[in-house]
Amino acid sequence: MQKFKAYLPLIAGVILIIAAVMIFLPGVIQRTPSPLGDLTVEYSGLQAVFGQSEDPKLKFNVGVFIGWMFVLGAGVMSLIGALNKKLGILVLVGAGVAIAGSVLVFLEAVLFKSVNDFSGILNTTYNLGVGPILGGIFAIIGASAAGYAGVKAFLSK
């Protein structure tokens, strides 16, 4: 069990980087009811964050971009903390950054709707896709591991 705890910052960093890679999965699902059935449009995480040049309605989303960058940055902080055992505080800060990033990732559908102009579409709902859900869950798991490892390293000084 002691050997497992020694690798916890490394494991947390890998989990957080995997969470950041979830941006490539579907990010937002747009559903519009119609008499012939629901019209469903899926936007990838990249489209939800960076927009799309072919569709001028899709704009760059700063809030979601910051969320994904927080998760990626927390993973890098955890990996750096795993390489140098004296940087336990860095792993602890990475855990806090990952929690903040996961909250922003979970708000992707709300932020997507607020940034983009879809005013002509009535009764449309925006739901989270698989990417933000899995990314947020992985970010919380990685943040928990990083937080435990950071507190352990910080208190062992």
Q: What is the pLDDT along the chain (157 residues), one digit of tens a residue?
A: 667 777 888 889 999 999 999 888 888 888 877 778 777 878 888 888 887 767 667 788 888 899 999 999 999 999 998 888 777 788 899 999 999 999 999 888 888 888 876 666 667 788 888 889 999 999 999 999 999 888 887 787 6
Q: What totals of helices (H) and strands (E) does the chain contain, helices first? A: 7, 3
2-150 in CATH: which number?
A: 1.20.140
Q: What is the pLDDT, as a whole number, of residue 96?
A: 93
Q: What is the pLDDT, as a whole number, of residue 128?
A: 84
Q: What is the pLDDT, as a whole number, of residue 9?
A: 86
Q: What is the pLDDT, as a whole number, of residue 118?
A: 67
Q: What is the pLDDT, as a whole number, of residue 85?
A: 75
Q: What is the pLDDT, as a whole number, of residue 73?
A: 94
| pTM of this structure | 0.85
Contact between 131 and 24 (Cβ < 8 Å): yes
Phi, psi of 74 (to 5 degrees): -65, -35
Q: What is the pLDDT, as a whole number, of residue 51?
A: 79
